[in-house]
Amino acid sequence: MDDLQTRKDDALEAIAAAANPDALEALRVEALGKQGWVSQLLKTLGKMTPEERTEKAPVIQQARAEIADAIAARKQAIDDAELNERLATETLDLSLPAPETPRGTVHPVSQVMDELAEIFADLGFAVKTGPEVEDDWHNFTALNMPESHPARAMHDTFYFPDHDDDGRRMLLRTHTSPVQIRTMVNEGAPVRIIAPGRVYRSDSDATHTPMFHQVEGLVIDRDIHLGHLKWTLETFLKAFFERDDIVLRLRPSYFPFTEPSVEVDVGFEVVKGRRVLGGSGDAPGHAWMELLGSGMVNRRVIEFAGLEPDEWQGFAFGVGVDRLAMLKYGMDDLRAFFDGDIRWLQHYGFSPFDQPTLSAGVGASA
* Stretch of 62-70, 112-120, 227-235, 287-295 contacting ligand DAH, by CB under 6 A: 287-295
Stretch that binds ligand DAH, among 126-134, 185-193, 290-298, 353-361 (CB under 6 A): 290-298
- Binding to ligand DAH by residue 258, rule CB under 6 A? yes
Question: What contacts 24+ positions apart, CB below 8 Å, involve 18-25?
Answer: 18/74, 18/78, 19/78, 20/78, 21/75, 21/78, 24/71, 24/74, 24/75, 24/78
297 within 8 A of 218, measured Cβ to Cβ: yes
Which single residue brings its beta carbon nearest to ligand DAH?
Answer: 318
177 touching ligand DAH, by CB under 6 A? yes
If one counts every other C-beta atom within 10 angstroms of the C-beta of residue 84, the result is 10
- Cβ contact 197:154 at 8 Å: no
- Bridge partners for 172 per DSSP: 133
Which residue of 130, 293, 314, 356 would you call a contact of ligand DAH, by CB under 6 A? Answer: 293
317 contacts ligand DAH (rule: CB under 6 A): yes
Residue 298 interacts with ligand DAH (CB under 6 A)? no
- Gap between the Cα atoms of 56 and 58, Å rounded: 6
Residue placing its CB nearer to ligand DAH in the complex, 212 or 337: 212
Residue whose C-alpha is closest to residue 268's, from 251, 248, 242: 248
Of 236 and 255, which has the nearer Cβ to ligand DAH?
Answer: 255
In degrees and rounded to multiples of 5, residue 314 shows phi and psi of 180, 180
327 near ligand DAH, rule: CB under 6 A: no
Cα(229)–Cα(224) distance, integer angstroms: 8
Does position 318 bind ligand DAH by CB under 6 A? yes
Which is nearer to ligand DAH, 15 or 193 (by Cβ)?
A: 193
**Whose Cβ is closer to ligand DAH: residue 197's or residue 267's?**
197
- Is 255 a binding residue for ligand DAH by CB under 6 A? The answer is yes
Cα separation, 178 vs 201, in Å, equals 15
Q: Residue 111 or residue 144: which is nearer to ligand DAH going by CB?
A: 144
Residues composing the chain: 366
Beta strand spans in the chain (E): 126-127, 133-135, 159-163, 169-172, 191-200, 211-221, 248-255, 258-271, 274-277, 286-297, 313-320
Residue 114 beta carbon to ligand DAH: minimum distance, rounded to whole angstroms: 21
* Strand 248-255 relative to strand 258-271, pairing: antiparallel
| Chain residues 199-238 in contact with ligand DAH, contact rule CB under 6 A | 216
Query: 259 a known binding residue?
Result: yes
Stretch that binds ligand DAH, among 14-22, 29-37, 313-321, 347-355 (CB under 6 A): 313-321
**At closest approach, how far in Å is the CB of 154 from ligand DAH?**
9
User: What is the rounded CA–CA span in Å between residue 184 and residue 256?
Assistant: 18
Residue 64 or 213: the one with the smaller Cβ distance to ligand DAH is 213
- Residue 193 to residues 41, 73, 123, 128, 227, Cα–Cα distance (Å): 77, 65, 10, 7, 18
Question: Which residues, 55 to 84, sit near ligand DAH by CB under 6 A?
Answer: none
**Does 314 interact with ligand DAH (rule: CB under 6 A)?**
no
CA angle 104, 107, 110 (to 5 degrees): 125
Q: Which of 189, 316, 324, 327 binds ligand DAH (CB under 6 A)?
A: 316
Distance CA 258, CA 288 (A): 23
Partners of 171 in beta bridges: 134, 159
Minimum CB distance to ligand DAH, residue 305 (Å): 13
In the complex, minimum distance from the CB of residue 143 to ligand DAH, in angstroms, rounded to a whole number: 8
Check residue 295 for interaction with ligand DAH (CB under 6 A): yes
Using CB under 6 A as the binding rule, the residues of this chain from 3 to 22 that contact ligand DAH are: none
Closer by beta carbon to ligand DAH, 196 or else 318: 318
Binding site for ligand DAH (CB under 6 A): 175, 177, 216, 255, 258, 293-295, 316-318
Pick out the residues of the known binding site for Mg(2+). 259
